[in-house]
């Protein structure tokens, strides 16, 4: 394990070492001390390495992640795992706004609560939140899965496309074109796998499924008046 003190090394040098690791070292496990809320920690990783951040982070931690596993032993600021392609990001605490935004793949696990716009415009990412999520989550979500073990705020799934939303608790309100849907056996199978990979012991049978009513796909002349 390679241990880096961010206070001594500096953010730019740290990220450069993580990007260059395949060429400069055979270290595959990295531990980052003293993050102190710094922004853009471990961004743009594209190798199957493991990075453990021992503390809370600022904006865009693990953004654009590809293949790597990033675990944050604290809470994360806005935009964590933004535009993630693959790999996994696990947050032991809470996440601020738009966690997992525009994510194309991979797994984001938030063991606390997530703020507003969690999973906004998600494009294939899987997100598992152990706690609650805020308003406008999964806005314009295109594909992927959002699992919420707690409650969801206002306008859940507003204008979404084909993403699947699973919520165990209450939903304050549904957004435009988002409706509750039947939970079929294939959805229970998908959900069980997500809960297992998301390190969550909730039961799939306790959740409800939400998705698109598909009424916004085509132009309707009645809506023009």
pLDDT of residue 216: 82
Structural domain includes residue 60: no
pLDDT of residue 24: 64
Structural domain includes residue 82: no
Structural domain includes residue 7: no
Structural domain includes residue 153: yes
Structural domain includes residue 194: yes
Structural domain includes residue 223: no
Structural domain includes residue 10: no
Structural domain includes residue 176: yes
Q: What angle do CA 47, 190, 174 make, to 5 degrees?
A: 100
- Classify residue 185 as exposed, middle or buried by CB count within 10 Å of its CB (0-12, 13-18, 19+): exposed
Closest CA to 190 of 81, 107, 114: 107
Residue pointed to by tokens 């705020």: 153
103 CB contacts (<8 Å, ≥6 apart)? 81, 82, 83, 84, 85, 119, 122, 123, 124, 125, 127, 144
Residue ranges making up the domain that contains 193 = 97-214
In order along its 225 residues, the chain shows pLDDT tens digits of 899 999 999 999 999 999 887 566 667 899 999 999 999 999 999 999 999 999 999 999 999 999 999 999 999 999 999 999 999 999 999 999 999 999 999 999 999 999 999 999 999 999 999 999 999 999 999 999 999 999 999 999 999 999 999 999 999 999 999 999 999 999 999 999 999 999 999 999 999 999 999 988 765 666 665
Q: Which structure tokens are listed for 188? A: 């229970």
Q: What angle do CA 197, 200, 203 make, to 5 degrees?
A: 105
pLDDT of residue 215: 87
Domain count across the chain: 1
Provide long-range contacts, Cβ within 8 A and 24+ apart, for 150-159.
Answer: 150/113, 153/116, 156/210, 157/210, 157/211, 157/212, 159/216
pLDDT of residue 122: 98
Q: How far apart are CA 146 and CA 144, in angstroms?
A: 7
């Amino acid at each position: 394990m390679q241990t880096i003190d961010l206070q001594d090394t500096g953010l730019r040098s740290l990220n450069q070492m993580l990007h260059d690791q395949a060429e400069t070292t055979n270290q595959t496990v990295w531990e980052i001390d003293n993050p102190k809320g710094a922004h853009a920690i471990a961004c743009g990783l594209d190798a199957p390495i493991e990075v453990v951040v021992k503390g809370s982070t600022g904006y865009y931690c693990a953004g654009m992640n590809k293949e790597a596993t990033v675990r944050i032993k604290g809470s994360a600021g806005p935009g964590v795992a933004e535009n993630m392609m693959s790999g996994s990001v696990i947050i032991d605490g809470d996440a601020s706004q738009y966690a997992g935004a525009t994510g194309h793949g991979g797994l984001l696990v938030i063991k606390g609560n997530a703020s507003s716009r969690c999973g906004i415009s998600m494009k294939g990412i899987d997100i598992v939140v152990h706690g609650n999520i805020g308003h406008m989550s999964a806005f314009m979500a295109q594909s992927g899965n959002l699992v919420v073990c707690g409650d969801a705020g206002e306008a859940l799934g507003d204008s979404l496309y084909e993403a699947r939303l699973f919520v165990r608790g209450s939903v304050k309100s549904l957004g435009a074109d988002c409706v509750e849907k039947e939970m079929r056996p294939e959805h229970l199978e998908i959900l069980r796998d997500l809960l297992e990979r998301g390190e969550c012991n909730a039961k799939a049978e306790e959740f409800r499924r939400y998705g698109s009513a598909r009424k916004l796909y085509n132009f309707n002349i009645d809506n023009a008046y």
